Homo-oligomer: A and B are copies of this chain.
């Protein structure tokens, strides 16, 4: 974030960003917009995406973390909530929190979805639990908390309510973390993991350009990619277009993460890998 100069103007009106796995086939997103505009008519709503794979908290968390630095500070609503409606001990909490950096407000389920984004903005300075929020719609449905709880709370906060007005204080230490794999040096190479695959079969992997340099791989290098008992060759390049169609390329993606792609093809298909699979990279 620090390195990105966004030239932002001072926001003069309330902003709510919204990410979910609701999809666009049904009216769920539209109804949440209705609830938000009803509570905060001046809000500008930015739909980050609603096509997070259904119930995929991890992808939602990574996309939220990648996207928020480009969205002006405001209220950031995110709903990927596979255990909504589960009662008793398994019930997840519902949260609104304020980040240490930039005073961003995040609203969503306490299932790890918000955590990577919160860490990117210095952690949580303050948090409240929302289950008894005076802002929730009544009757409150068991399963559509986006509409009945999270959207009205987000809108109330955008309209100027304080965290203490919308929920009960809770300890920021108790916010649920999200387990993510970590790249590590191994056998002279770098063990990396597939963090997510996009709709074109491009893979986001952990590890960084610096970690690749430490194993002797730099721009233009050939890199061996070992997985599933096979070895592929990839070239480190600054752009897809620098390799031939069908070739594997290792690059820094537009989010500053490492990517593995096939020019005009699918790396996920070529390598036969998916989320959390491990790959060993070695300089050639």
Contacts and interface: CB of A to CB of B under 8 A. Distances in A.
Nearest to A32: B70
Interface string A215-250: 000000000000000000000001111000000000
Contacts of A48: 27, 30-31, 34
Contacts of A9: 38-41, 159
What is the total number of copies of this protein in its complex?
Answer: 3
How many chain A residues sit at the interface, stated as a range, is 35 or more
B254 A144 contact: yes
A226 B243 CA distance: 43
A37 B27 contact: no
A70 B147 contact: yes
Contacts of A152: 6-7
A138 B63 CA distance: 20
A282 interface: no
A279 to B, nearest CB: 22
Given A34-B70, A47-B33, A48-B34, A239 B27 contact: no
Given A27-B66, A30-B67, A254-B147, A44 B47 contact: no
A174 to B, nearest CB: 23
A239 B34 contact: no
A241 B4 contact: no
A11 interface: yes
Interface string A115-148: 0000000000000000000010111011110011
A254 B5 CA distance: 43
A131 to B, nearest CB: 15
Interface in A248-267: 253-254
A35 B51 contact: no
Contacts of A238: 85, 142
Given A4-B139, A19-B30, A87-B241, 14 more contacts: A3-B138, A6-B38, A8-B39, A9-B40, A10-B41, A15-B41, A25-B51, A25-B199, A30-B48, A31-B67, A33-B71, A34-B71, A38-B72, A86-B239
